[in-house]
Structure 1
Amino acid sequence: MNMTYDWIGSPSDMKRDGAAILEMLDASVRDDGMLGYSTRLSREEADAFLAFWEWQLQNKAASILLARDEAGVCAMTFMRINQNRNYMHIADLSKGYITPRMRGTALLSNLLLKICEKAKTLNIELLTLDTRENSRAFKVWTHFGFKSHGVLQDYSRSGGRSHVGHFMNQRVEDLGKNCQKGEKLVLQNKSDFRAKLENTLHQEIAKNILYSLFS
């Protein structure tokens, strides 16, 4: 599979890839609203979203990672970079999304490794994020070693309900190690699946041979 990873670093990049990013946001609405949107963004909301991130990019306060395959953009992650010199060792991750067809692969580990590489070039040592409790994203971040350092009971509201949110963090060095472990696990799972599939095929072939001999 031909996969490319690109960092958006300027407003012109955002104008070029804005439509693809909005498509990912729309897809997340259908995917249990996992990016925090329960309905599609209106035209005004979409324009405001793109304008905000263009401003962030123009001021070197953000960078956006996109992964592409033959079908187009299949994953994204936003990184906000702290401009205060007392906190420049910290960056915040948000809007992390992978299309369903690419889940269960090594893509997530690779994305996080790309984030670690980028963070190191910017002398960022600590990554933070926030997410809804017990959501799919919460379970993924926990799996990769992020720890909660704070809980907000009234974190978000949707469908007339209030949801608990967790504020999480992990050191870049530790995340890199956890990603490498995760990639090995994916490869091991693929090997196990292939072995089981081959065994099933062999059994089916043997069954057909016996049927042809004795029927």
Structure 2
Amino acid sequence: MAEPLSYVLIHRVDLFSEYQQQLIELLKLSSADDAILGFDTTFDDQKAIQYLVSLEKEIASQSLQILVGQHQETLVVCCFFKRSHQQTTRHLCDLQKGMIHPHFRSQGLLEQTLAAIACECMAQGVELLTLDVRGGTKAHRIWEKCGFETYGILNDYSRFQGKSFDGYFMKQRTQDLWNRFKIFYTQGSEKMSVGTELIPKKEFRTQMRETLEKHLTLGHPLFKYLLDEKHPNSDLLKFTTLQGYQLTKNFLTYIEHLFFHCPLPKHKRALLHNMYEEETGRLSNTKNHVELMQDFVRALGISDAERDAATALPQTQALIDYRMIACKNPDLYHIGAAAVMVASEGQNLESVGDEARHNILGKVYGLKEADLLFFSVHQEEDVGHVQQGLALLADLCDTPKRQQEAIEAIETTCELFYQMYQGVYEYFGYDKQDQAAKAELIGEV
């Protein structure tokens, strides 16, 4: 998306009526972002109507304005401006409910929108911008990168899924925000704020590899239950495997689209070999990789009917969709390649010490080598696949914008893998169990 968005400031009720349905649809998507915006999966149509009424009242009272950004009549970004009626605080504006549509993220729209926010606020005489965010989240890290500084921390700021989170209250002068991002106001999203110089290919490959290695999913607490030799949990392994099977079913589709859209002939040939192996297994002298996964599923005692009836948890589906959207869109090719060929293929390279996790699973659950072929084949092949992905991206990402987006795609995909395991962890109630154990330990101390 190279062209700038079209921005509209909703400051009257008649304008609000034109955009309210699209706004609600965008707000509903926040339930897939761990309720960062204050909404969770209970945000249904009835609650949406109630929320629209409250927004309309605030707009009518001139305490709320909403900046929206559109791309070809689709609302893709928005930010709420909360203003004060008091003359002594008219120089302040609190930014709330900042959103970018999931299908349009990692395309430079944040920088462009921040410039639009600064421009609009300066026009209204706003000199200082504030916001609050749940600590430790991706949103928190983004605001820090964008120049917002913490001026206060509130304990027990929000509660979600039985957990309490601290809130970080942040600020930035409007002029500083404008100076930081003004270049994007007229030039659109083809330039990025971070990484304004092209990184040399060798260094870029190193940065991508380091990004992958910084986000190891084996650190998730779920694995202490999965790999517990003293207390094997077959039900947990079966459920986790069926979630993994949802990923496997879609993997060939990712590779097919990456092959079809690949603009570089030498890398297209490598993708052809990858696709051929996924479909036939002949390069590894095995068989179709989905069938290999099905063999593992059967080895756990799961019937074909049970396997086919299984569905993805929301966190698992988010990982599937993120990669599918990028792979199918030629404009997002580098994001899809980074997500699939580096971040996803790289998941199979993790180990516990010197031992691969599938070998540990085999020991804990009494599985034979033949049962684990899906994993052993991928552990061997994916070393080369990750190298191919790094080489492809080094050649393909010829602008700072693309380089940064590729690195962000690796980070995002790894985080989505982690969230998939978090979904299983919470489904089995281990999060509450571990919280209780921690609280008891603290109490004893």
* Shared fold, TM over 0.5: yes
What's the CA shift string for 1:53-75, capped at 9, x where partnerless? 21121122221011111261111
CA distance in structure 1 between the aligned counterparts of 2:89 and 2:193, rounded to whole angstroms? 34
Letter of the 2:108 counterpart:
A
Shift of 1:179: 2.1
**Contact map agreement 1:26 1:40 (CA 8 A) in 2:** no
**What does residue 295 of structure 2 align with?**
none
Shift of 1:119: 0.8
Which of 264, 267, 273 matches 1:201? Answer: 264
Report the structure, 1 or 2, having the larger helix content: 2
After TM superposition, the structure 1 = structure 2 runs for residues 110-121 of structure 1, keeping only pairs within 5 Å, are 110-121=112-123
Residues 206 and 44 of structure 1: CA distance in aligned 2, closer, same or farther (over 3 Å): closer
Shift of 1:106: 2.1
Which of 160, 166, 169 matches 2:168? Answer: 166
**What does residue 67 of structure 2 align with?**
65
**What does residue 32 of structure 2 align with?**
30
Paired residue secondary structure (1:53): helix
Residues 149 and 173 of structure 1: CA distance in aligned 2, closer, same or farther (over 3 Å): same
Report the structure, 1 or 2, having the larger strand content: 1
TM-score (norm 1): 0.83
Letter of the 1:54 counterpart:
E
Taking only the aligned residue pairs, the percentage that are identical comes to 28
Shift of 1:23: 0.6
Which of 141, 144, 148 matches 1:142? Answer: 144
Deviation >6 Å, runs of 4+: 189-193
Shift of 1:48: 2.4
Shift of 1:144: 0.5
Shift of 1:101: 2.4
CA distance in structure 1 between the aligned counterparts of 2:47 and 2:115, rounded to whole angstroms? 31
What's the CA shift string for 1:36-95, capped at 9, x where partnerless? 212242334222221222112112222101111126111110001111000000000000
**What does residue 74 of structure 1 align with?**
76
Paired residue secondary structure (1:33): coil
Letter of the 1:92 counterpart:
D
Letter of the 1:36 counterpart:
G
Listed as ranges, the gaps of 5+ residues in structure 1 are 208-215
**Contact map agreement 2:80 2:97 (CA 8 A) in 1:** yes
CA distance in structure 2 between the aligned counterparts of 1:205 and 1:134, rounded to whole angstroms? 39
**Contact map agreement 2:67 2:80 (CA 8 A) in 1:** yes
Residues 181 and 162 of structure 1: CA distance in aligned 2, closer, same or farther (over 3 Å): farther
Shift of 1:159: 0.4
What's the CA shift string for 1:129-161, capped at 9, x where partnerless? 111001121111111011111111110011011
Matched, 1:126 2:128: yes
Letter of the 2:135 counterpart:
E
Letter of the 1:48 counterpart:
Q
Paired residue secondary structure (1:140): helix
Shift of 1:115: 0.9
**Contact map agreement 2:35 2:160 (CA 8 A) in 1:** no
After TM superposition, the structure 1 = structure 2 runs for residues 14-53 of structure 1, keeping only pairs within 5 Å, are 14-53=16-55
Shift of 1:34: 2.4
Letter of the 2:264 counterpart:
L
Number of aligned residue pairs: give it. 203
Letter of the 1:113 counterpart:
A
Residues 204 and 160 of structure 1: CA distance in aligned 2, closer, same or farther (over 3 Å): closer
CA distance in structure 1 between the aligned counterparts of 2:169 and 2:126, rounded to whole angstroms? 18
CA distance in structure 2 between the aligned counterparts of 1:76 and 1:113, rounded to whole angstroms? 13
Matched, 1:157 2:171: no
CA distance in structure 1 between the aligned counterparts of 2:55 and 2:200, rounded to whole angstroms? 42
Residues 206 and 165 of structure 1: CA distance in aligned 2, closer, same or farther (over 3 Å): closer
Residues 192 and 46 of structure 1: CA distance in aligned 2, closer, same or farther (over 3 Å): farther
Matched, 1:105 2:103: no
CA distance in structure 2 between the aligned counterparts of 1:163 and 1:63, rounded to whole angstroms? 28
CA distance in structure 2 between the aligned counterparts of 1:187 and 1:167, rounded to whole angstroms? 27
